[in-house]
Amino acid sequence: MTAQDRPTALAGNGRRAQLALFARNFFKHPRMLGSIIPSSPFLVRRLLERIDWQHARVIVEYGPGVGTITQELLQRLPAEATLLVLETNRDFVDFLQRSLPDPRLQVVQGSAETIQAELTRLGLPAADYVLAGIPFSTMSAPSRAAVLMSSLEALSPQGSMLIYQFSSRVLPDLRRVFSDVECDFEPLNILPARLYYCRP
C-alpha cells in the first residue's frame, strides 16, 4: 500500500463527530481556535500547494485541531517522511490518535514553543515545513515571539513556515523574525484567511 492509498479521510459519522468536537471546543476555548468550523478545502489547497512534496521529509503542524489539514498532509506525504503535530488540547490529541492511525504521524500534546525539543526527542532532523493556524493575534507579544523564534530555529536553511490567520496582526512580527515573508489571501473560507509564507 502506498502513502496515497492509506485511508486517512474521515466520512459519514466520523465527519460529523469531527465537526461536533471542533464546535464544542470552539465554545470552550474561542481564543485558542479563532473559528467555529475547520478550514475550507480552498484554504487547505492554497496552503499546501507551497510544499515541495518530493523533498519534504519532516513537516510540523501546530494546532491541528480535528485534523482537517493533517489528513490532507498525510494524503500527500511521502512514505518515508514524518508529520509531527503539536496540539495543546487533550480532546483533539485523543481524537487524532484514534482517527488517523498512520505510522508517519507523531501526535504530541505540547506547545509550539517546544518544537526543537520534540524534534530532538524523536530523533528527527530540522523541519522542512512548519504549518501554523494557531491564533497569533490572541497571544501575548512574548509568547508570539517565542513561538516564531522557536520555529525559525527548528527549520532547515531551505525550509518554510506556512501560516494562515484571520488577522494581519502577526505580520510585523513575521517580518522581524524571517528574512522573506510573502503574503496571500483566501476569500473562500469562514472567516476569509490571510496566508503568510516565511523563509529564514
- The residue ranges of every structural domain in the chain are 8-199
pLDDT of 17 higher than 90:
no
Nearest to 122 by CA among 93, 152, 154, 92: 154
Give the model confidence (pLDDT) of 47-79 as tens digits: 999 999 999 999 999 999 999 999 999 999 999
pLDDT recorded at residue 190: 87
pLDDT of 13 higher than 60:
no
pLDDT of 108 higher than 90:
yes
Position 39 confidence tier, pLDDT thresholds 50, 70, 90: confident
Tell me the CATH number for domain 8-199. 3.40.50.150
pLDDT of 146 higher than 50:
yes
The verdict on pTM exceeding 0.85 is no
Computed over every residue of the chain, the mean pLDDT equals 88
Contact 84, 59 (CB under 8 A): yes
Q: Is the dihedral of CA 166, 172, 175, 181 positive or negative?
A: positive
